[in-house]
Structure 1
Amino acid sequence: MSDNYERLIPATVAFDERGTPMSPAFGDVYHPAWGALEQARRVFLHGNSLPRRWQGKDSFTVCETGFGLGNNFLALWQAWRDDPQRCARLHVLSFEAHPFARQDLGRILAGSLPQPEKALASQLVAAWPPLLPGLHRLEFEGGSVTLTLAFGSVARLAKQACAEVDAYFLDGFAPRVNPDMWTRGLFGQLVRMANQGATAATWCCAGEVRRGLRDAGFLVSKAPGFGGKREITVATLRPGMGRGHAARPPREPALVVGGGLAGAGIAQALALRGHEVTLLDPVFAGGLGASHRGHIAAAMTPVISRDDDIRARLSRAGVSRALQRWQGLPGDARPWRCGTIELVPDAREASRCRDALAYLGFPDDWVGWLDAPEASRRAGRALACAGLWFADGQRVQPQALLEALLYHPRIHCKVGRAARLQTDGAGLWRALDAQGKELASAALAVLANAGQAAALLATVPGVPRLPKVEAIYSLAGQVSYYSGGETASLRAVLAGDGYCLPPVDGRSVGGSTYLQDAAVSEVTLQGHLEINKKVAGLLNVVPCRIGQLPGPGDGWAGWRAAVSDRLPVIGPIDDVPGLWLACAYGSRGLSWAALAGDVIAAALDHEPLPLERELLRRISPR
C-alpha cells in the first residue's frame, strides 16, 4: 500500500514582459533574460569545473534540482559532445515537480535555441515521457548519455533516488518563492548520493543557502558572477565524505542462469553497456527462443490502483522500460503498441474506476475511460460494456522477441543445466553440472531461472536465509489459439477475466489458466474449455460462437514462478558480492524483463537507478 501519493501538476506556459519563460505558480523566471544556455555554461558547467573533471573517466554523473525547460541538460549534453576527451558515459538525474507537457516543451525550446542545442532539444522532446509521477529513464547517444527524470516533489523524491553523483546543479526557483528546493534536509540527501570530491554550483548566494550547504558537509565559497549577478555560490564536499571509488572494475563479464524472458532482459541490458554475457540454459538446445517456441503472442499492459500502490508503480515503470528498450527491435520482435481495453462490466466497479482516474489525474493519453461505443470502435468489434483504455498496451510475440534480444555479439548462449554455483574466493563465479563439471564462469552471476532459483541458490555457501525466495512457487498454465470467428477483427488487447489478443497471421490468443501443484504444464481440453468461457465473456458471445473449439495443438503451455505478494524478486544477495537474483515474475514476465535488466545493470555500472528506493526494497530478495 502506498500512502504518500502526490498528484502531478504540470507546468503552464507563460512569459514575463521581456518574453522570458516564467512560472505563474512561483512568480519567477526559468532563466535570466540574458540567456539560459549562457547561465548553464557560466554557472553550472564552469562552477563545477566541467568539462575538465569528467575527462578520461569511464562515467560521470550530474544531479540537477530543477529541470525546468531542460536548458542546463542541453548545454551539458552539447559540452559533452564537443569535448574529444569526454567521459565514456554521462548520466543526469534531474528533479521536477511541475514538468511541461511534451507539446509545450517543444514549442518553447524551438524558438529559443541555437541550432546545435535545437537539434538536441528535438531528441529530448521526442523522448519526453508522459506526465506520470515517479522516475523516467531516457537514453541518448546509443545509451552513452542518460537522463533520469524524477517527476514529483523534490522533498519526497530526493529521499527515493539512488545515484552516485559527481556534480550538482542547484537550480530551483528563488528561495523566497520555492523554499523546498533549498532546505537542509534536501542538501543532506544530496550528500547521501555524493561521490568523494563532489561539487555543487548555483546562481543563488542567499546566506541561508550557503549555511545549509556548509552544515550538510560542503566547503562553500563565492565566485565572480556576471550578467548583473555580482557573485555565485560554488561548493566542494568535505574531504573524507562521500562515496569512495568503486572497487569493481567497469563492465565485468557476467554469467546469467536462465534462458527465458528474465534472463534475456538482463543479458540485453548488460550487453548494451559493454558486458560480455554467458547465458546458460538447457533450453538453448532448441534455439534462442525455445523457451517460448510456439507461443504466438502475449499481452503487456500497465495497471492502476486507487492509491497508486507498489504493484501499479512497478507495472508502470516496467511497461515504460519495455517501450524504451524494445520499440527499436526489427520485424516481429518489436511489440505492437495496439492499446489495451480493460473491460468493466459491473456498474459499481466502473464507478470506482472512474473515481480512481479522477483522483490520480493521470494524462488521458496514457489511461482514460471509454464508453461502450468508443471501446467498440477501438477494439474493432462490438463490445457490451465500457472500460479503461491503456494506450501503452502491447501485443508481443515472445519467441521473436527472445531471438532478437539474445542475438547480440556480446551474448553467448550455452546449452547446460547448472546444478551448483560456486565462487572461488577471488571474485569468480562458476556454474557446475550435476557431475561437477564447469559449464561457465564469470565475475558476476545472476540467477534468472524462475522456480529453480531457490534450489541453485541453496548450493552457494554463505548465502543468508531468504524466506521470500524459499517461498517461490510454480504455476502451470496454458493459452488457446483461435482462427477466424469472433476474434478475427480485434485491433486492441481485451482484458478482464482473461484476455484476448489481436490476431497474428490469422490466429488470436486467448488466456489463460492457472494451476498450482501441477506435475506438468500441458495444453488440455479442460484448459481450452476454461479459456473459451473467459474469451466468450470478453466478447459478449456464447462460447460456441467464438469459433471451432481449439484442439490439442492449438495452444501453448508454460510455467510461472511467483511469491505471495505477486511482485518480482530482483536485487543483490546481501553479503555475497557479485551474486544477484531476478525471478518470480509471475504472469508479468514481459512487464518486468527490461526493467529488471536495467535495475541490475545500472547498479553494476554505477548509474542512477531507474526505480525509487521504496520500490527497490519491496522487490529485493530479503
Structure 2
Amino acid sequence: MNATDLDRALSHWPELNDIKQSLLARYPDPIPGTHRLAFLDGNITLDLWFGDVAWATTRWAEQDLRVDAWYLDGFAPSKNSSMWSDQVLDNIAHCSPKGCTASTFSVAGKVKIPLRERGFNIYKKPGFGRKREQLFALKHRDSKHLTIDATPWHKSSTPNARPEHVAVIGAGLAGSFAAYALANRGIKVSVIDPEGIATQASGNAQGVVYCRIPKRHAPLGDFGVLAFRYATQLYRDLLSNEVLQEGVDASLCGMLHTFPRDTDSELALNVHKLPNLARIVDEHEARTISGIALSQPMLHFPQSGWIAPKPLCQALLSHPNIELIKDGFENLTSTDSGLKLKCNSQNVFADCVVFAAGTGTKDLVANTLLPTKAIRGQTTQIPAINTIKSALCNEGYIAPAVGGQHCIGATFDLDDADTSPRSASDQENLEKLDAFLAIKDRQVLGHRVAFRCTTPDYLPIVGAVPNDDAMQDLYQSLQFDGKKIIPEACPVQPGIFVLTGLGSRGLTYGPLAGEFLASLLNHEPLPLANELIRALSPARFGIRQLKKRS
C-alpha cells in the first residue's frame, strides 16, 4: 500500500486525521525490508515490514519474536493461498505464546483447521459491515520449535539481562547515536571519552546524508537505503523540535548526485517507484534546485541534506539520561554485579558496555577479530558561493555555506597515517569540485584531517562481541564444511557490545545502527531482518575466516 492509498483508506475516519497526518509524514516508499517509525517522542514504535508474507514471518520466527495479537488480513485461501500456507502458519504459531490472540474475517475450513492443529482454540464471532462472521483464535499451548536452516552465529549464547546502566566508550557519532537510543528507553548512559564530544572523525564542519541507489538486493545497498530513510526522519524531527537549528546545525535541503550516463535507463527503472527517495532531474531543474549551473542530469534526493556532526552529537548527548565523562578508558573487568570500567581518574560501574571509539575500538576490545582500518580524510574550507542552496556530490561533496564558508572534500587516502593537513590534499578537493561545478581557484581558508573507521565489506560492526577462542572451537567444523548447520548460538563476552566501522557514512548509518543496538540490548523486536543482522554482526569476520579454510 502506498501513501496515496493509505490516505484514501483512512479518510473514512476524519476523527483520526491528526494521527493519519503523522503517519503519512513518516510513511516510507515501498522499499523491501523493515521500516521503523517513531511517534509521540518515541513512546510509540511502528515497524512496517514490506515484503512477501512468507519472507517476513520467517524472519520473525528466526528472531523468536513474541506476538500478543495477530490481525490476519490476507483474504480467503481461495483468493490468496500463499497467506495461509503451512510455512506462514508454522511461523505464526512459533511466534505466538500461550494467550496470544488472532483474528481474521476468513472463516474457511482451510484457516480454522490449520490454526487449531497449531494450538489455537477457534471461535466464531459476529462480523463487521458486509462480513457476516469473523474468526477469533486463542493460543492455548506452545508450538514445536521450527527447524533452523542456518547456523545462528549472529545470536548470543548468553543474552544479557535488560540493562539499567550502560557505559559507552566514545563520544563521536557512533557513541552518540548508541547513547541516544538507549537513553530514549529510560536507561542511564555514561559516555566516556578523554577528549570530549566529536573531536575525531565526527568533528568535521559539515557532512552530507548520503545514499546510493543499489543495482540489486545485497546487504550493503539494502542497509544503506533503510538507514538513509531512518536517519532523515530523525533529522527532520530534531529540526522540527528545534533541537538542531535550521541552516546553522543542519538543513535537509536535498542532495544532487552525479551518475554515469550509461546507467541512465537502468537507474530510471530503479527509482521510478521510489519518487520520495530519489528521481532523475535534467540540468535545468538541477540548476533550479541547487542554485548553480550544472552541465548534466543529476540524481536528486529530496530528503537528504547536510548536518554539522559536532552540534548533532552535542544535541544527542544532552539527553537527561546521559552523562558525559571526560576521562580515558583503561581496562574492563567483570564483577558480581556487572562490569567495572577503570578510567584514568575514576571507576565506572555498568551492566553493559558499548565500544564506539572509531579507529581506536579494535585496540580496546580484547579477544576478538575486528578488522577495521583507518583511512585518512582531509576536508577543506573555502569561501561561500552564496547561490548554492542544496548539497552536491560527485567524488567529493559541497553543501550550502555556514558562517561564510563551505566544507568540501574529503580525500580518501589509503595507507596514509599523516595527521598534518597538506596543500596537495586541498588541491585534490578543489579539483574534484571543479570537475563537475567548474569552480576554479578558490581560496583555502582552512583544513582538517581525520581518520574514518572502515571495514573490509564497508558495513558497520554492530552487536555483541564474540569470544573468538570459544567461537573458533564451537564452529571449527565449518572449515571442513562451510554449509554445515551448527544449532548453537555464538559464545560472546558477556555484557560487551560494539558499534563501529561507520566509515564515511556515519550520518546515514549511525541512527539505525544505534537503534538496532538499543533494541538488541533491550530484547525488543529488531528493526532489521536476519540477513542484515548477520551482515552487521561482529562475528561475521571470524566465521568468514573459518569458512575460507574449507
TM-score by length of 1: 0.74
Give the corresponding residue for 1:415. Answer: 326
**Alignment pair present for 1:538 and 2:436:** yes
Give the corresponding residue for 2:291. Answer: 380
Q: How far did 1:590 drift?
A: 1.0
Kindly provide the CA deviation profile for residues 179-227 of structure 1, in whole angstroms up to 9, marking residues without a partner as x.
1211111122223434454332223222222233244x32332233345
Give the corresponding residue for 1:406. Answer: 317
Q: For residues 64-463 of structure 1, what are the structure 2 equivalents within 5 Å?
A: 99-100=1-2, 102-110=3-11, 112-113=12-13, 115=15, 117-161=16-60, 162=63, 163-195=65-97, 197-215=99-117, 217-227=118-128, 229-230=132-133, 232-236=135-139, 238-239=141-142, 250=162, 252-284=164-196, 288-291=197-200, 295-329=204-238, 330-332=243-245, 335-344=250-259, 349-359=260-270, 361-424=272-335, 426=336, 428-433=338-343, 438-458=346-366, 463=367
C-alpha contact 1:522 1:558 (8 A) present in aligned 2: no
Q: How far did 1:326 drift?
A: 2.7
Kindly provide the CA deviation profile for residues 380-427 of structure 1, in whole angstroms up to 9, marking residues without a partner as x.
111112221111221101111111111111100101222222222x35
C-alpha contact 2:411 2:425 (8 A) present in aligned 1: yes
Once residues 93 and 337 of structure 2 are traced to their aligned partners in structure 1, the CA distance between those partners, rounded to angstroms, is 30
Give the corresponding residue for 2:405. Answer: 507
Q: How far did 1:538 drift?
A: 2.2
Once residues 230 and 172 of structure 1 are traced to their aligned partners in structure 2, the CA distance between those partners, rounded to angstroms, is 16
C-alpha contact 2:104 2:134 (8 A) present in aligned 1: no
- Secondary structure of residue in 2 paired with 1:125: helix
Q: Which of the numbers 376, 392, 396 marks the counterpart of 1:498?
A: 396
Query: Any stretches of 5+ residues in structure 1 without a counterpart?
Result: 1-98
Once residues 401 and 394 of structure 2 are traced to their aligned partners in structure 1, the CA distance between those partners, rounded to angstroms, is 18
Q: How far did 1:237 drift?
A: 5.2
Kindly provide the CA deviation profile for residues 116-148 of structure 1, in whole angstroms up to 9, marking residues without a partner as x.
x34422322232223322211112232222111
Once residues 452 and 343 of structure 2 are traced to their aligned partners in structure 1, the CA distance between those partners, rounded to angstroms, is 24
Once residues 271 and 383 of structure 2 are traced to their aligned partners in structure 1, the CA distance between those partners, rounded to angstroms, is 39
C-alpha contact 2:462 2:497 (8 A) present in aligned 1: yes
- Secondary structure of residue in 1 paired with 2:251: coil
Q: Which of the numbers 490, 502, 513 marks the counterpart of 1:585?
A: 502
Once residues 352 and 203 of structure 2 are traced to their aligned partners in structure 1, the CA distance between those partners, rounded to angstroms, is 32
In structure 2, the CA distance between the partners of 1:478 and 1:559, relative to structure 1 (3 Å rule), is same
Q: Which of the numbers 458, 472, 491 marks the counterpart of 1:566?
A: 458
- Secondary structure of residue in 2 paired with 1:315: helix
Bigger Cα displacement from structure 2, 349-358 vs 314-323: 349-358
Once residues 173 and 203 of structure 2 are traced to their aligned partners in structure 1, the CA distance between those partners, rounded to angstroms, is 15
In structure 2, the CA distance between the partners of 1:389 and 1:354, relative to structure 1 (3 Å rule), is farther
In structure 2, the CA distance between the partners of 1:416 and 1:294, relative to structure 1 (3 Å rule), is closer
Q: How far did 1:270 drift?
A: 0.7
C-alpha contact 1:134 1:152 (8 A) present in aligned 2: yes
- Secondary structure of residue in 1 paired with 2:100: strand
Q: How far did 1:350 drift?
A: 1.8
In structure 2, the CA distance between the partners of 1:445 and 1:192, relative to structure 1 (3 Å rule), is farther
C-alpha contact 1:571 1:619 (8 A) present in aligned 2: yes
Q: How far did 1:446 drift?
A: 0.8
- Secondary structure of residue in 1 paired with 2:411: coil
Kindly provide the CA deviation profile for residues 485-526 of structure 1, in whole angstroms up to 9, marking residues without a partner as x.
xx3321111111211211112211110112233334332211
Give the corresponding residue for 2:153. Answer: none
State the one-letter code of the partner of 2:380.
S
Kindly provide the CA deviation profile for residues 338-394 of structure 1, in whole angstroms up to 9, marking residues without a partner as x.
1111113xxxx3231431331464322321111222212211111112221111221
TM-score by length of 2: 0.83
Pairs aligned (count): 492
Once residues 202 and 372 of structure 2 are traced to their aligned partners in structure 1, the CA distance between those partners, rounded to angstroms, is 25
C-alpha contact 2:271 2:278 (8 A) present in aligned 1: no
Give the corresponding residue for 1:28. Answer: none
Bigger Cα displacement from structure 2, 259-268 vs 520-529: 520-529
In structure 2, the CA distance between the partners of 1:223 and 1:128, relative to structure 1 (3 Å rule), is same
Identity %: 27
Kindly provide the CA deviation profile for residues 100-123 of structure 1, in whole angstroms up to 9, marking residues without a partner as x.
3x234223322x1162x3442232
Q: How far did 1:311 drift?
A: 1.6
